[in-house]
Structure 1
Amino acid sequence: MSRIVVIGAGQAGASLVAKLRSAGFEGEITLIGSEPVPPYQRPPLSKAYLLGEMALERLFLRPESFYVDQNIDLRLGQTVTAIDPVAKTVTVDDAILSYDQLALTTGSRPRRLPPAIGGDLDRVFEVRGLADVDAMAPEVSDGARALIVGGGYIGLEAAAVCAKRGVEVVLVEMADRILQRVAAPETSAYFRDLHRAHGVDIREGVGLETLTGTDGKVTGATLSDGSTVAVDFVVVGVGIMPATGLAEQAGLQIENGIRVDANGRTSDPSIWAAGDCASFPYQGVRIRLESVPNAIDQAEAVAENMLGAGKEYVAKPWFWSDQYDVKLQIAGLNAGYDRVVTRKGDGQTASFWYYKGDQLVAVDAMNDPRAYMIGKRLIEAGKTADPAIVGDPEIDLKPLLKS
């Protein structure tokens, strides 16, 4: 009987093993995770869970009994230290486990502040895993002072939660504007205004020089403009990196993540990869998507291909972010856009439509699920949308789907 081993018990790993069983695989499945809890949702960590609005058990993707019922050997709190692709074994703590096929769903890891500038002080947090948020939660209280380093979606979501809990928030972004790497100036301006309306002190074009502390605990920060800020805790949201250490040790090809082909297979024919850690071909280029939908869809495609389906994975990029009472939904990828059309609705409703030449490539929709849905369907169908129609809020968008 064949054995499949999956390293990484996050969204992708959990999706992969469940799909193996539902697709009819009857061999041995082992899912290995370094955290002591079953696979769980990460997006609510920095929002509902941190706010105390979601219990721990509701985070779990499936009850632990699911893995027992499906005869999946779920190994929690264990660390894989080596892969031997020749012997087809993995070293798990002090044990050796053999495999016929191996899947890497190792996800990503947060970029950390270096110790030289105070990154090793107590009460300096990243928002990546359950343990991070559990450690941070007691600090998020009315009247506390927080410094958020990084104006991407992680930093902005953390700022929103902190502000809602009465924390005094200063957010610094080294680039000229928040969300500069991932969104148009229009989206940046929308969220800048939103956060400032909730009392967040956003400082753009300002970086962190150093953190200072007393008795090992962070107490202040010096910024690149020479100003100083007194703080009780710091949240670091300066991006994530694919977790490729095991793949590199095994000699697999790396290219902005673990390089896989359209089927999800690595440079070793017996090893596959999916989720945040994997880079794959997409419309003539190679990309890596950091999103829950991609983790699920790619992992399920890999599971089928491990069983011989030979099906190319065609990504349909979409993302979301919740900040205060605004839900941002993003469809498509805006790389290479040269024009943005604004569609303004009532109150906080708005959408920004990205064009590359005449082609619609992405949509950012704030509290506008209809615009998001229509934009997503157009993009996935390879269609575009007349900018004159998009920019006129009095014109219904739905007929665009029939054109």
Structure 2
Amino acid sequence: MTLVVVGASLAGLRAVEAARRTGYRGRIVLVGAEARLPYDRPPLSKAFLDPGGPGEVPPFHAETVLRDELGVELMLGAPAEHLDTDVREVTVAGAAMRYDALVIATGATARRLPGARTLRTAEDAVAVRAALDAGARTVVVGAGFIGSEVASAARKRGLPVTIVEASATPLHRAVGAAAGAELTALHHAAGTELRLGAEVTGVSAEGVALAGGEVLPADLVVAGIGAVPATGWLEGSGLTLHERDGGIVCDETLSAGPPGVYAAGDVAYVPNPLFDGMSMRLEHWTNAAEQGGAAARHALDPASARPLGAVPYFWSDWYGHRIQFVGTPEADEVVRTGGATLYRRGDRVVGALTIDRPREIMKHRRRIAARAPWSEALAVAGAA
């Protein structure tokens, strides 16, 4: 039996590890588009960009661990090109490889802005840090996780930085507008200039051009304008791809439809029974780790597959502050109380945002998982 994991990502690595933990002793092939061994991406825009940060991007495991201890055949620097679910074959570097079980964990690709850098790979992070170390005047397009973390790295060096954001608040899609004022205040307190509700019309050697004619001078321009699932190679495969962005539409067990095919991480849309079956595609570390392991277990033993119902969780580090969010921002009401911003849907608490309150956020996560009533969440938060 052969398990093929496409995507040498966090989700892909967790799939490999879970397969071996379950006692699977068959063949495992790990396919990765990058030539590097699997590595951790969140630090690329956090600790790695800090002044005096790590000198290199280390892999999760040495090659000897992957090959000898986990028994993995590595096919790195060779992206998958096609999937044929009828004959159960993945084409890599022009050669067809048969699978019995398949986990797709190809992640997402950063949206690009001509003339600007992205920050998705280790090579991207090395280039951005080198520019910051050289004292670059920086303009960041997008006030999401990546953009705000790049701005934080620039300010730690005392460098001027401007964030240009099309929405009225930072992290508008991730946490909603109500939490925007508090996040905006973090940027202002750190000396970052914010241009909210602004449209970028182009990037040139002179800088970033805005609608209206203004040009923001910049030595470094970083685009943090989101990512799209890396599923171009799946066209014509028979998998259902989401009409919005091409993500893989899965069921509650991560099955992508055809026998033996499962998906995990940034690439997968999965209904979450904890939130009334809402289909979620999450670009979060914890989600990739949890789904990667589950996808491998289910692919190897479909009879044991069970619906996933985890509470989404993400964090971001800005200017020495830890921002944490659990649940979903899709809510009927958002209330700031105590040390948290809470999100209500119906009579339930479905989300919570905190800044520098790591213990509190985990308590909210447990309440969301337990479907705690709104009144209880308000009372506990107000007493915190």
Higher relative contact order, chain-length normalized (CA < 8 Å, sep 6+): 2
Letter in 2 for 1:335: E
Runs of 4+ in structure 1 deviating by more than 6 angstroms, as ranges, are none
Instruction: Give 1:186 deviation, angstroms.
Output: 4.4
SS at match of 2:208: strand
**Runs of 5+ consecutive residues of structure 2 not aligned to the other structure:** none
Answer whether contact 2:5 2:12 (CA < 8 A) is retained: yes
Q: In 2, distance between residues paired with 1:365 and 1:275?
A: 24
Q: State the TM-score, normalized to the length of structure 1.
A: 0.88
SS at match of 1:374: helix
Show the 5 A alignment for 1:94-105.
94-105=94-105
Instruction: Give 1:371 deviation, angstroms.
Output: 1.7
Q: In 2, distance between residues paired with 1:132 and 1:55?
A: 14
Q: In 2, distance between residues paired with 1:357 and 1:4?
A: 43
Q: Which residue of 1 aligns with 2:188?
A: 196
Q: Which residue of 2 aligns with 1:400?
A: none
1:369 aligns with 2:358: yes
Q: Which residue of 2 aligns with 1:265?
A: 255
Instruction: Give 1:247 deviation, angstroms.
Output: 2.3
Q: In 1, distance between residues paired with 2:348 and 2:324?
A: 20
Between 1:95-104 and 1:12-21, the stretch displaced more is: 95-104
Answer whether contact 1:141 1:166 (CA < 8 A) is retained: no
**Runs of 5+ consecutive residues of structure 1 not aligned to the other structure:** 114-118, 214-218, 344-349, 397-403
Answer whether contact 2:337 2:378 (CA < 8 A) is retained: no
2:313 aligned residue (307, 310, 318): 318
1:336 aligned residue (309, 327, 331): 331
1:295 aligned residue (271, 275, 288): 288
1:231 aligned residue (204, 212, 218): 218
Q: In 1, distance between residues paired with 2:24 and 2:213?
A: 60
Letter in 1 for 2:296: A
Q: In 1, distance between residues paired with 2:136 and 2:371?
A: 49
Q: In 1, distance between residues paired with 2:82 and 2:378?
A: 57
Letter in 1 for 2:117: F
Aligned-pair Cα RMSD in Å: 1.7
Q: In 1, distance between residues paired with 2:4 and 2:13?
A: 12
Q: In 1, distance between residues paired with 2:202 and 2:378?
A: 48
Letter in 2 for 1:290: E
Going from structure 1 to structure 2, the CA distance change for 1:231 and 1:8 (only over 3 Å counts) comes to: same
Q: Which residue of 2 aligns with 1:221?
A: 208
Q: In 2, distance between residues paired with 1:227 and 1:385?
A: 46
Q: Which residue of 2 aligns with 1:347?
A: none
Answer whether contact 2:354 2:361 (CA < 8 A) is retained: yes
SS at match of 1:181: helix
1:164 aligned residue (156, 166, 174): 156
State the Cα deviation string for residues 343-392 of structure 1 (Å, max 9, x = none): 2xxxxxx4211122432111101001222021111111111353653463
Aligned residues: 373
1:11 aligns with 2:10: yes
Q: In 2, distance between residues paired with 1:62 and 1:154?
A: 25
Q: In 2, distance between residues paired with 1:391 and 1:377?
A: 13
Q: State the TM-score, normalized to the length of structure 2.
A: 0.92
State the Cα deviation string for residues 127-154 of structure 1 (Å, max 9, x = none): 1111111222211136421110011122
Percentage of matched positions with identical amino acids = 34
